[in-house]
């Protein structure tokens, strides 16, 4: 049996104490659909494969081409003249000295850009967690494409939790490498923060939502046994793997690789116009990445909150790749403007200029809640915004990590 259609006929008025005769008939209809494909009856093909969905992918792809060209033009025009100038012969020292004295912008802070960032421990933990989330999401999407995870109840959530525990080595390795390269000494604190920050943030939100569900007597409450199993996975699989990754990362990728010496005395940062401040650059940086995933967010929210089964994981994989490319390109441009303003505190600005994408997704969720759903009451509202907050926290860390990692690579090679 792969499908049941129930039709009622001849309704009767209900009277207190009156007996009713219930009858039913069954009609068996043979089908060519195999038992393995029984779930396809619940898939809304016209909704998910609408031409708007295809057009949004094409539009995002064109945005990637435009941004890639813009970044390439900035790098080529900015760096080509500098390479030519510094490649002059030694007999042109007088001209070279005059050009150096006339330098301005990002070239003046080359001796300060490799200073350790503020809150190094937290930044290293976020970068490690973001790397793990990227590998985790890619793995889950591939498994969903290959194994049809939408068929089983809770299959995607279970796969996500198990894969998170198994990929914890990545976060420890990346976090420890970045922490050591910037001169960090308290590696135990960095390791504990890397292992506990993301799961404990989500545990705090989940615990609050679970308390609300228990108070309302809802079946949405997570059983205590399930919570114990999740803690055991973290304590005996995830945490040891983070520890192992930290030890390996400190010894294999912890050597400093700065191409130039950091100046002893920090250079003073001049006053700049308001639109060149780190806060404005960070807020503006998330607009284009959000625009690249705006349509896909509608389909994801509709699937999660309007009881549609999301199955187009091929689309999600394309959007995921496009999102990473767009955030990287936007961060390169934003960081260039920041360094050109002679502000060498670029690490957190690079991170937040991409992570601010999550802020716009959360603002969109507020619009979606009021316009596209019919939810009401404290219980539904708290679950909606609580789960959305969990999603946005992960999205922000993921985007911020990739942008910061690429900016580190560019600064070490330019």
Region of poorest pLDDT, from 93-102, 175-184, 298-307, 375-384: 93-102
**Nearest by Cα to 344 from 155, 116, 51, 184:** 116
267-296 pLDDT, tens digit each: 777 888 888 889 999 999 999 899 889 888
282 contacts: CB under 8 Å, gap ≥ 6:
334, 349, 352, 353, 355, 356
Q: What is the pTM of this model?
A: 0.82
pLDDT tier at 105, thresholds 50, 70, 90: low
pLDDT tier at 91, thresholds 50, 70, 90: very low
Q: With b meaning 16 or more CB within 10 Å and e meaning fewer, what string describes 145-173?
A: eeebbbeeeeebeebebebbbebbbbbbb
């Amino acid at each position: 049996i792969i499908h049941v259609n129930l039709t009622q006929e001849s309704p009767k008025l209900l009277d207190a104490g009156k007996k009713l005769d219930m009858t039913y008939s069954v009609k068996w209809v043979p089908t060519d659909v195999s038992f393995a494909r029984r779930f396809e009856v619940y898939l809304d093909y016209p909704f998910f494969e609408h031409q708007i969905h295809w057009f949004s992918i094409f539009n995002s792809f064109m945005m990637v081409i435009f941004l890639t060209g813009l970044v390439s033009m900035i790098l080529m025009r900015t760096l080509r003249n500098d390479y030519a100038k510094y490649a002059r012969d030694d007999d042109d020292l007088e001209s070279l000295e005059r050009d150096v004295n006339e330098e301005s912008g990002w070239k003046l802070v080359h001796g300060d850009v490799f200073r350790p960032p503020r809150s190094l421990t937290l930044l290293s933990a976020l970068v490690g967690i973001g790397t793990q989330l990227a590998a985790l999401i890619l793995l889950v999407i591939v498994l969903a494409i290959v194994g049809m995870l939408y068929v089983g109840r809770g299959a995607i959530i279970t796969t996500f939790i198990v894969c998170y525990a198994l990929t914890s080595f990545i976060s420890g390795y990346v976090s420890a490498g970045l922490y050591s390269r910037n001169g960090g000494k308290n590696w135990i604190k960095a390791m504990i923060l890397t292992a506990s920050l993301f799961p404990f943030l989500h545990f705090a939100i989940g615990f609050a939502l679970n308390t609300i569900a228990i108070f309302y007597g809802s079946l949405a409450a997570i059983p205590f046994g399930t919570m114990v199993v999740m803690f055991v996975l973290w304590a005996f699989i995830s945490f040891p793997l983070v520890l192992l990754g930290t030890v390996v990362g400190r010894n294999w990728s912890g050597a400093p690789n700065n191409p130039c010496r950091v100046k002893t005395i920090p250079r003073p940062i001049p006053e700049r116009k308001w639109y060149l401040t780190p806060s404005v650059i960070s807020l503006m940086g998330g607009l284009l990445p959000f625009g690249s995933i705006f349509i896909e967010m509608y389909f994801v929210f509709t699937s999660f909150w309007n009881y549609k089964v999301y199955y187009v994981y091929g689309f999600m994989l394309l959007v995921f790749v496009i999102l990473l490319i767009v955030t990287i390109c936007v961060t390169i441009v934003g960081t260039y403007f920041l360094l050109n303003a002679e502000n060498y505190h670029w690490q957190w600005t690079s991170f937040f200029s991409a992570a601010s994408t999550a802020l716009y997704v959360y603002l969109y969720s507020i619009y979606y809640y009021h316009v596209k759903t019919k939810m009401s009451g404290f219980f539904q509202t708290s679950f909606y915004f609580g789960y959305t907050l969990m999603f946005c926290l992960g999205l922000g860390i993921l985007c911020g990590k990739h942008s910061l990692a690429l900016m580190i690579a560019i600064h070490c090679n330019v």
